[in-house]
């Protein structure tokens, strides 16, 4: 069953590597997980931190509101913010906190967020804080691998389910 689900996700251009399966509702808050995003043009999906899922909106503009990140080359990594794409109405933002381990980032910065990053701003080994679409929750992600040729972004991440900048 798990292999069928992984195969189906691969056919859609999506992969979520989270321990031995996909992250989902009911998993422990604050747990560090890993995900791989494929270029939006290939998989047509964005990422939502609250449940660790890939959101595939298709032609439904309302479903775009359910994603926090969109990886789209040659543009880069965008958050749910109208400055990134008109379909977005969120208050998302992202800030580079440097070449730090994910565990070393205990709190998201209060300022410095931008709507998106150009590909040159996506640096392997750097950690980023993300203000999610609702503008009240935060996640942090560490770039494990950014492959421009394969158009994939692998990252470890942690979501703070409470509306605070402090990671637990």
Distances in Å between the Cα of 66 and the Cα atoms of 3, 47, 96, 99, 122 are: 27, 8, 23, 29, 23
pLDDT digits (tens, 9 = 90+) for 119-135: 999 999 999 999 999 99
8 pLDDT higher than 90:
no
Q: How far apart are CA 62 and CA 9, in angstroms?
A: 22
167 belongs to a structural domain: no
Count up the domains in the chain and report the number. Answer: 1
Long-range contacts of 59-68 (CB under 8 A, 24+ apart): 61/87, 64/88, 65/89, 65/90, 65/133, 66/133, 67/133, 68/92, 68/130, 68/132, 68/133, 68/139
User: What pLDDT does 59 receive?
Assistant: 74
Smallest CA-to-CA distance from 139 within 121, 162, 116, 119 is with 162
In terms of pLDDT, which residue wins out, 34 or 26? Answer: 34
Q: What rounded mean pLDDT belongs to the chain?
A: 84
Residue 166 placed within a domain: no
Looking at the domain assignment, is residue 74 inside a domain?
yes
pLDDT at 9 over 70: no
Phi and psi (nearest 5°) for 146? -125, 110
Q: Is residue 168 part of a domain?
A: no
Cα–Cα distance list, 167 to 18, 39, 81, 84, 126 (Å): 19, 28, 23, 26, 17
- Domain span at residue 87 reads 2-160
What pTM was estimated for this model as a whole?
Answer: 0.82
Is the residue at 86 inside a domain? yes
pLDDT digits (tens, 9 = 90+) for 67-85: 999 999 999 999 999 999 8
The residues, ordered by sequence, that sit 6+ positions from 76 with a Cβ below 8 Å of its Cβ are 116, 117, 118, 119, 121, 122
Sheet holding 152-160, edge to edge: 33-38, 152-160, 138-147, 127-131, 93-98
Whether 71 maps to a domain, the answer reads: yes
In a domain, 114, yes or no: yes
Q: pLDDT at position 29, please? A: 57
128 located within any domain: yes
Q: Hunting for tokens 């439904």 — which residue is that? A: 60
């Amino acid at each position: 069953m798990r292999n069928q689900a992984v195969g189906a996700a691969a056919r859609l251009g999506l992969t979520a590597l989270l321990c031995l399966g996909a992250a989902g509702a009911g998993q422990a808050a604050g747990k560090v997980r890993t995900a791989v995003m494929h270029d939006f043009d290939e998989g047509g999906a964005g990422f939502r931190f609250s449940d660790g899922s890939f959101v595939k909106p298709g032609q439904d503009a309302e479903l775009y509101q359910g994603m926090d990140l969109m990886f789209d080359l040659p543009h880069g990594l965008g958050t749910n913010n109208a400055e990134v794409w008109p379909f977005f109405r969120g208050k998302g933002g992202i800030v580079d906190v440097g070449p730090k381990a994910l565990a070393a980032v205990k709190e998201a910065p209060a300022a410095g967020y931008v709507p998106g990053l150009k590909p040159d701003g996506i640096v392997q080994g750097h950690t980023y804080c993300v203000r999610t679409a609702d503008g009240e929750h935060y996640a942090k992600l560490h770039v494990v691998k950014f492959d421009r040729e394969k158009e994939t972004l692998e990252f470890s991440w942690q979501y703070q389910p409470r509306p605070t900048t402090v990671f637990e």
